[in-house]
Every structure is written in C-alpha cells, then in structure tokens.
Amino acid sequence: MNKRTFLKLSSAVMASRFVSPLFAWMPTEKLTNWSGNLEYSSQQLTQGTSLEQVQDFVGKHEKFKVLGTRHCFNNIADSKDELLSLRQMDQVVSVDVKAKTVTVESGSSYGKLAPYLDSKGFALHNLASLPHISIAGACSTATHGSGEKNGNLSSAVAALEFINAAGDVVKLSRDKDGETFHGAVVGLGALGVITKVTLDIQPTYAMKQWVYENLSLAQFKEHFDAIEASAYSISLFTDWQNQQFSEVWIKSRTEPGHEFSAPKDFYGSKPATKNLHPIVELSAENCTEQLGVPGPWYERLPHFRMGFTPSAGKELQSEFFVPRQNAVDAILAVERLRDQITPHLMISEIRTIAADHLWMSPAYKQPCVAIHFTWKQDWPNVSKLLPVIEKELAPYKARPHWGKLFTISPATLKQIYTKMPDFIELAKKYDPKGKFRNDFLNRNIFG
Ligand SMILES: Cc1cc2nc3c(=O)[nH]c(=O)nc-3n(C[C@H](O)[C@H](O)[C@H](O)COP(=O)(O)OP(=O)(O)OC[C@H]3O[C@@H](n4cnc5c(N)ncnc54)[C@H](O)[C@@H]3O)c2cc1C
C-alpha cells in the first residue's frame, strides 16, 4: 500500500477531534495503548484517587504496573497482573515562586498543566511533540523535545514523591539526594508509583514558529551546527528520499537576543506559505500555529495541538539517540538505507537534546541527536527493518528511546547504558521482590 492510501485509511480511522481514549474506554472494550498496536495483557484497571488509596492498592497487590496516558509503543507499561491509573490525580499542589518550581500530582498531562502555569506567569523549558502525555510517564521514559540547549523533560524534575513496594512514601529531591535522585528520575516505572512531581519553572514567554521546505542533505552536512544553533528548537523531517529534509520546524522565543530572523532563504530552503503537518499529505488542522504568528510557549513548543489527534494515529514509532559528535555520520548511515526504510515509513524527525545527569537518560552526560521514525503500523516488516537500522547505528553508540520500539539486545543495552548496574541496585532498594517489574523490565534491565 502506498503512503497516500495508507494515510487516507489511517485518518479515516482516527477522526481529528480527539477524545482521551482512557476515559472513552469501556469495560467491554479491550484496553490498548494509544496507537492500538498493543493490547495490555491485563484488563484489570483500577483508578487511583488519593495517596492513601494508592498506598492501600500497593499493599494489597503482589505485582502491577502503573499506566500513564498509554503513549508508549512497546510493552514498558504492560502487566499480566493488574494495572493502576493515576489520571484522576491531576491537580496542581503548589507553585513555589521563590524556588521557581511547581508541584503537581503525577497523573496530570503537560496539556493540563501548561495553561495553568501560563496563567500564573510561568512556563516550562520545553515540551514534547505532543502535550497529551502524562508528566510521570514522560519523565519515566526520558521523553524529550528539541533544542541543543534544552535537556529532555525529565531534566526539569526537581523532586519526586513515590510509593515504594513496601507502601512507604519516598521523597527525593535534586538538592538533597544527589546521585539517588539522578538514578530515580528516569525510573522506567521500576521504583514505585510516582504520586507527585516537582518541576523547574521560569517566567512565561512567547514564541513564534516557522516551517521551511526542502533543505538539502548537502546543506545539512555542511552547516549542521549552524542550523541547530539558529533557534531555540529545531526539528528536521524527512522520508529519506531525494537527499533532502522536506520540512524544517523552527521554534523561536520572542525575547530580544533569542529571536530568529526568519530569512527568505534558510540554507537554501524556503519558508512555507501555509501551516503544514510534518507528514505533508496530512491536514495541518491538528498542528500548532506556524508562519511566525506569536503565541504562548505551550502552543508553539509541541508540534501537535491539545484537543486533536497528534501525529498520524495508527502508527508505530522508534527512536535512536546518538552522541552529538556522531550525528551527521549516523544520519548519513541511515540515509544509505533509504530504499529499505521509505516503503514502511510515514516520516522521520531529527532533534537535538542537551546532556543531563540522569542515569537512564539517553542523554546521560552527553548531548544527543535523536533520529526518530514514525512507521506505518506494520510490525512484521518494521521488526525486520529495525535490526538493520540498529546495526548501522551501532558504531555510533546509538541508544534506543525507552518508550518506543527497538530490538537491541539486553546485553548491548547494558553496554550503552553505563549506569544500568547502579540503576538495578537502586530499583532493588525500593522494590526488592519485583512488584513493579514486567516482561519489558525483566528482559531489558533485570535479565
Ligand atoms: C503521537 C506521539 C508522539 C510522541 N512524541 C514524543 C516526543 O516528541 N518525544 C519523545 O521523547 N517521546 C514521544 N512520544 C513517546 C511518549 O510520549 C513517551 O514514551 C511517554 O512515556 C508517554 O507517556 P505516557 O504517560 O503515555 O506513558 P505510558 O506509556 O502510560 O507509561 C510509560 C512508563 O511510565 C510508567 N509510569 C507512568 N505513570 C507512572 C507513575 N505515576 N508512576 C510510576 N510509573 C509510571 C509506566 O509504568 C511505564 O513504565 C510520543 C508518543 C506518541 C504516541
């Protein structure tokens, strides 16, 4: 099936107005992840409503997993036993103006928190391509946006509250708990049930977004550093054909000193004359405003608007992080696989992420470039292609995204995530008997 036919069918299935599937879920329907490629192994879903009730749940269950907004593509959130959702625990607890932090219940999504913060005169440093995801789920998997000076979303976590396997409330903070805190933030759901997250905030800011079309691979190779440095956040989209990036998304803060000059020619690419979707065949209705129109940070940092279906809907995703110094070579290596990749692809995206100190983050102590693939929902073919891409990227020390699809072996993961032995010890401290473990964690971390 060609891409145009596939996308037509997919978008017919996913009407563009978006109803949160968790709340649309009825006990008669099978509980799946957001894209529908994974049916959870347990259909026993309990809603957490208070700290005490969640503690009681932890005490009464031998094994379970917490679900966020279910946007992961692999089985990291799956359980054969029980599932717990904290979506009803989504209130802002406090804003500490002096410490410049907000504390929020972990079931909140960025889409819910962001307008509240903005109304109080504050902002977050960055957002992912979609605001729909839960804060706890996103931070647990090192979810990221773009911008060479911007760490991933978990790098904004200043403190965490979670319930460990014994049912005790554990509080960790960046200021007081040093390395333990660095180990716990990207916790892959293995340490406990996160109930509150404290995030760094800053004064609110406005942004503008532009899209440029058709940046050549030759210009990209020649000017990679300058392109990435040209604005607060840069995303490059390609289907790997024709030696070009079909779209360059440029997100710029409007404060003096930050502004992007929006030239008529950006390294040979030209400004789009209407709003575009990253997959050019799809309507831009679900995308954030472009064409340099100013707006609040939370309506420009994500590519997709809250209240609408993000991305394409019926899809799969994979993503690999390479150390920044390997980026151009790694991207050229993927480009050489274009004729194998493109038939199964909707779109690829290239983003930059600043280094952080979080043990299980792909950007642990190294600035990264992320090479992302939105695939057609065709696992038999994608599963054959992933090892080919992973082999090509292996010399560049590529690390996979924890929430997306990969086939890299557990032995290789142990080599490339150098803090994994410490992370295993930390997880055992809070969960000695494996209450929070599932097949994903047993295979990739504890195996
Ligand atoms: C359309 C689309 C676009 C995306 N764009 C991006 C992007 O721009 N950048 C990026 O990096 N990723 C992106 N992702 C991936 C995705 O956002 C992340 O992987 C993220 O984890 C999803 O959060 P969630 O709440 O849905 O997590 P879930 O899938 O529900 O859970 C993820 C993990 O977090 C754990 N967890 C959740 N809540 C808790 C809690 N309260 N306590 C303990 N553990 C918890 C779960 O047990 C599981 O281990 C995208 C996904 C989709 C579908």
The tens digit of pLDDT for each residue in 381-399 reads 999 999 999 999 999 999 9
Percent of the chain at pLDDT exceeding 70: 93
Q: Which of 143, 161, 373 to mutate to test the pocket of ligand 1 (most atoms within 8 A of CB)?
A: 143
8 A C-beta contact, residue 39 and residue 31:
yes
Q: Nearest residue CA, atom 13 of ligand 1?
A: 143
CA distance 71 to 197: 19
Residue 169: per-residue pLDDT? 98
Q: Which of 42, 49, 64, 67 to mutate to test the pocket of ligand 1 (most atoms within 8 A of CB)?
A: 67
Interval 54-82: pLDDT, tens: 999 999 999 999 999 999 999 999 999 99
Structure confidence at residue 28 as a pLDDT band (50, 70, 90): low
CA distance 171 to 92: 17
Q: Is 203 helix (H, G, I), strand (E, B) or coil?
A: strand
403 class by beta-carbon count within 10 Å (0-12 exposed, 13-18 middle, 19+ buried): buried
pLDDT tops 70 at residue 401 = yes
- DSSP structural state of residue 131: S
Q: How far is ligand 1, taken at its centre, from the CA of residue 139, in Å?
A: 8
- 106 alpha carbon, distance to own chain's centre: 16
Residue 306: per-residue pLDDT? 85
Task: Say what the pTM is.
Answer: 0.94
- 281 alpha carbon, distance to own chain's centre: 23
Interval 425-437: pLDDT, tens: 999 999 999 999 9
Q: How far is ligand 1, taken at its centre, from the CA of residue 429, in Å?
A: 24
Residue 178: per-residue pLDDT? 95
Ligand 1 contacts CB of residue 131 (under 6 A): no
Structure confidence at residue 12 as a pLDDT band (50, 70, 90): very low
Ligand 1 contacts CB of residue 435 (under 6 A): no
CA distance 224 to 323: 14
Token representation of residue 208: 């503008």
Residue 304: per-residue pLDDT? 94
Ligand 1 contacts CB of residue 310 (under 6 A): yes
pLDDT tops 50 at residue 185 = yes
Token representation of residue 333: 């290596």
Interval 304-332: pLDDT, tens: 998 777 766 789 999 999 999 999 999 99
Q: Nearest residue CA, atom 10 of ligand 1?
A: 143
Residue 24: per-residue pLDDT? 41
Interval 158-182: pLDDT, tens: 999 999 999 999 999 999 999 999 9
Q: Which of 141, 172, 279 to mutate to test the pocket of ligand 1 (most atoms within 8 A of CB)?
A: 141
Structure confidence at residue 10 as a pLDDT band (50, 70, 90): very low
Q: How far is ligand 1, taken at its centre, from the CA of residue 132, in Å?
A: 10
Ligand 1 contacts CB of residue 128 (under 6 A): yes
Structure confidence at residue 39 as a pLDDT band (50, 70, 90): very high
Q: Nearest residue CA, atom 51 of ligand 1?
A: 71
Structure confidence at residue 120 as a pLDDT band (50, 70, 90): very high
Arithmetic mean of pLDDT over the chain: 93
Ligand 1 contacts CB of residue 140 (under 6 A): yes
Ligand 1 contacts CB of residue 183 (under 6 A): no
Give, for 56, the enclosing helix (H) or strand (E).
helix 51-60
Structure confidence at residue 27 as a pLDDT band (50, 70, 90): low
Ligand 1 contacts CB of residue 34 (under 6 A): yes
Least confident of 1-5, 336-340, 341-345: 1-5
pLDDT tops 70 at residue 194 = yes
Structure confidence at residue 199 as a pLDDT band (50, 70, 90): very high
Q: What is the mean pLDDT of residues 352-369?
A: 98
pLDDT tops 90 at residue 23 = no
The atom of ligand 1 lying closest to the CA of 72 is 29
Residue with tokens 């962001």: 114
Ligand 1 contacts CB of residue 143 (under 6 A): yes
Q: How far is ligand 1, taken at its centre, from the CA of residue 313, in Å?
A: 15
Percent of the chain at pLDDT exceeding 90: 90
Interval 230-264: pLDDT, tens: 999 999 999 999 999 999 999 999 998 878 999 99
Ligand 1 contacts CB of residue 130 (under 6 A): yes
The atom of ligand 1 lying closest to the CA of 311 is 1
Residue 13: per-residue pLDDT? 33
Q: How far is ligand 1, taken at its centre, from the CA of residue 84, in Å?
A: 15
Q: How far is ligand 1, taken at its centre, from the CA of residue 83, in Å?
A: 15
Q: What is the mean pLDDT of residues 3-32?
A: 47
Structure confidence at residue 192 as a pLDDT band (50, 70, 90): very high
Token representation of residue 289: 């405003």
Q: How far is ligand 1, taken at its centre, from the CA of residue 119, in Å?
A: 26
Strand partners, 65: 83
Residue 257: per-residue pLDDT? 81
CA distance 107 to 402: 19
pLDDT tops 70 at residue 122 = yes
pLDDT tops 50 at residue 6 = no
The most distant pair of C-alpha atoms in the chain lies apart, rounded to whole Å, by 63
